[in-house]
Amino acid sequence: MASNWFKKQNASPNKKNGYKSHIPFRLNFLFFIIFAAFLAMIGQLAYVQIIHGDTFTAMITASTEKTVTKSTPRGMIYDTNGKVLVGNTGLPAITYTKGSGTSAAQMRTVAQNLAKLINVPEDAALKERDKKDFFLADDDNYQMVLKRVPQAELKDEHGDNLSSGAVYAKVVDQVTAEEINFSAEDIEATTLFTRMNGAYALTTIYLKSENVSNEELAVVAENASYLPGVSTGTDWERSYPYGSTVRSILGTVSTEKTGLPSESADQLVAMGYSLNDRVGTSYLEQQYEFVLQGIKAQNKVTVDTQGDITNQVETFTGAKGDNIVSTIDIDFQQKVEAILKEKYTDMIAKKLTTYSDGVYAVVMNPNTGDVISLAGFQHDLVTNELTDNPLGTINSVFVPGSSIKGATITAGYQNGILNGNQTFIDQPLQFQGTATKSSIFNRTIGNKINMDVIRALGESSNVFMMHIALGLMGTTYTPNMSLPNDLTVFNKLRSVYEQFGLGSSTGIDVPKYSTGLVTPTQNFLSSDGSTILPGTMGLALDLSFGNYDSYTAMQLAQYVSTIATSGKRYAARLVKGVYGNDADGNLGSVLENFNPTLLNTVDLTAEQWDIIHQGFYATTHQSYGTATAGMSGSKYDIAGKTGTAETYYYPGDGTQHETVNNSFVGYAPADNPEVAVAVILPHIDSGTGSYHQQIAKAIFDTYYDMYANK
């Protein structure tokens, strides 16, 4: 029994009354689970670090490092000889890059700290709302003003809480004038805050880029830890070494504040632009935007978990834009401007410009369409002040007078009205329902002069051109006849004029320019369209000798260039090629040469062109020529055509004043043209003499001295 008792006492403690304990199994199972989890963790760690380590490292880096861009200088614009027309001036600047999670309160603090370190002139555009936004960026101020808003106004008509934006608008209205009666330092801080507040997240803007001193650059760098997002850099602005000379045709560039033009913003953003990028907004700057725009510099910025920038380092310096070389010779341009100004000033002194708009001239290479000079001056009728206005050569339209008669002769040839050097009788023409129409040199009724094509151009016969118009109407002249009601004559003449660029696009390489003022034929009909208005067909006669439709000086230059080349009409152009940059950022080697663009060819026989050329030569050489005296003594052998249009000036007080438009178009040398000139003097007093011819002759002589006589 003792032995049995001993066995019972020493039996396994896990057994009791025949029941086997499961504690060891549970412990083992728990240990197994822990071990399996440990293996899984090791496997996951291996997966992360070994198999996909690079991928996850990049993901982590992407969440803390961002790439931001900033603008680089635009390409420059040079004249045909490589002289800078538009350059860049580098400016030391203080910049700001806004973090993705930066709050208004944080920007307010940075602005206040920075305002203590640098001088910031008050922005003239600073508004009362900007001051209120600065005041409310302090949370204590915001909460104080919020209490002034009645609780009922913080809910909509359904009793729901207003959006945060709507609440903020309510709070803004409660800020008092006294609360934004800021000190000078607060105004500076508000100016900085407003610029920061308008920035896009992770986009670098310029807080100050004018008159930044070396001391300011140093103090900003020294206090960088108190100025998150603020840094130093270099800005640029456009410079114009020749001042106002051709300034307007070169175009403008938007500011960082104005950014992309609204009408093209979507297109430019889709091409990678930022909304605050500076871009060309007019003329050459706009036309060649994608050439001139540089490649943006890149900075790597580090942001913390709140999206605030903690560090930034430049990783790519960017690249200056490519350059364009213009067809304009700036030295010649300035000489042309001096000629216009001298002659027109003399006219002012002699009181010949009472109602005159100014004076305009274009010089072109007829064989390429290259615009060598486009000069103009706008005349102030009150002060007599002259203002540079080269844009007037492509945007201002005037009735030119007889200078376009070469195109009318062409219409006669193309429509079978003329045959060779055909003759018509020049005499005053009398029609029913319209005043007598005549040539300036032959106003006596009954006086008849035999007039062939050459003399009709040289002596400038209006009647000869009206015979062509009558032929286009399907009739010939008889005294006191009624004019046929045939509006097709307008289309027949204009379709030929357009072949010369008169009333059509010159193809000049700028975004906006006038194609002339041409009255649609439907305007000649009654309201129901059934009847041609009285006097309309008389206007068709006026059109034939250049006394109805209006054109620009550029169109006249292209027209006479087409005469000079026997029908080849080249697109007018201001840029001849794209060039890169050398190591110093100046004009480098050519990247692309632009070839002349032939728009169309005016279809005439060699004999017909020869007759027209003889007519233009007669204008400047024959005894009857209207410009023989004016071109006498010229260094060039010039061929051309004069024009005088009877016009009226309406000052807006119900009165009208008789004026004339004088024009001259020509080319030289007459037998092998290399230069074409168009001059127009609009709305000058009658009897002003030959200033338009004097201007043209002086331009030809200047061109000869600079080019042909080398």
Stronger pLDDT, 42 or 390, i.e. the higher one? 390
Q: For residues 677 and 240, what is the distance between their CA atoms, to the nearest angstrom?
A: 27
**Chain-centroid distance, C-alpha 259:** 14
Q: What is the pLDDT of residues 96-132, one digit of tens each?
A: 988 888 899 999 999 999 999 999 988 888 899 999 9
Helix/strand/coil for 257: coil
Q: What is the pLDDT of residues 547-576, one digit of tens each?
A: 999 999 999 999 999 999 999 999 999 999
Locate the domains of the chain by residue range. Answer: 103-200, 332-567+602-708
Instruction: Tell me which fold the domain 103-200 belongs to.
Output: Arc Repressor Mutant, subunit A (1.10.10)
* Per-residue pLDDT at 274 exceeds 90: no
Question: Could you check whether 103-200 and 332-567+602-708 share the same CATH topology?
Answer: no
Alpha-carbon separation of residue 247 from 89, 240, 412, 537, 562 (angstroms): 17, 8, 42, 43, 28
Cβ-count burial of 508 within 10 angstroms (0-12 exposed, 13-18 middle, 19+ buried)?
buried
133-142, 295-304, 374-383: which has the minimum mean pLDDT?
A: 295-304
**590, 700, 581, 686: which is closest to 637 by C-alpha?**
700
Give the catalytic positions in this structure. Answer: 402
Q: What is the pLDDT of residues 183-236, one digit of tens each?
A: 999 999 999 999 998 888 877 888 998 899 999 999 999 998 889 989 888 888
The pLDDT value given to residue 273: 82
Q: For residues 646 and 631, what is the distance between their CA atoms, to the nearest angstrom?
A: 23
Residue 58 banded pLDDT, cuts 50, 70, 90:
low
Residue 16 banded pLDDT, cuts 50, 70, 90:
very low
Sign of CA dihedral 494, 539, 459, 644: negative
Stronger pLDDT, 556 or 17, i.e. the higher one? 556
**Residue 77: strand pairing partners:** 86, 324
Q: For residues 644 and 649, what is the distance between their CA atoms, to the nearest angstrom?
A: 15
Instruction: Write the DSSP symbol of residue 704.
Output: I
**502, 431, 436: which is closest to 470 by C-alpha?**
431
* Per-residue pLDDT at 170 exceeds 70: yes
- Provide mean pLDDT across the span 652-676: 94
Cβ-count burial of 207 within 10 angstroms (0-12 exposed, 13-18 middle, 19+ buried)?
buried
CATH superfamily, domain 332-567+602-708, is DD-peptidase/beta-lactamase superfamily (3.40.710.10)
Q: For residues 330 and 681, what is the distance between their CA atoms, to the nearest angstrom?
A: 23
User: Which residues are CB-contacts of 186 (< 8 A; sequence separation ≥ 6)?
Assistant: 115, 134
Q: For residues 579 and 612, what is the distance between their CA atoms, to the nearest angstrom?
A: 41
* Count of beta carbons in the 10 Å neighbourhood of residue 601: 13
pTM, two decimal places: 0.83
- Provide mean pLDDT across the span 364-376: 98
Stronger pLDDT, 310 or 62, i.e. the higher one? 310
Q: For residues 708 and 674, what is the distance between their CA atoms, to the nearest angstrom?
A: 9
- The radius of gyration of the chain from alpha carbons, rounded to an integer in Å, stands at 40
* CA trace torsion 129, 152, 155, 102 (10° rounding): 40
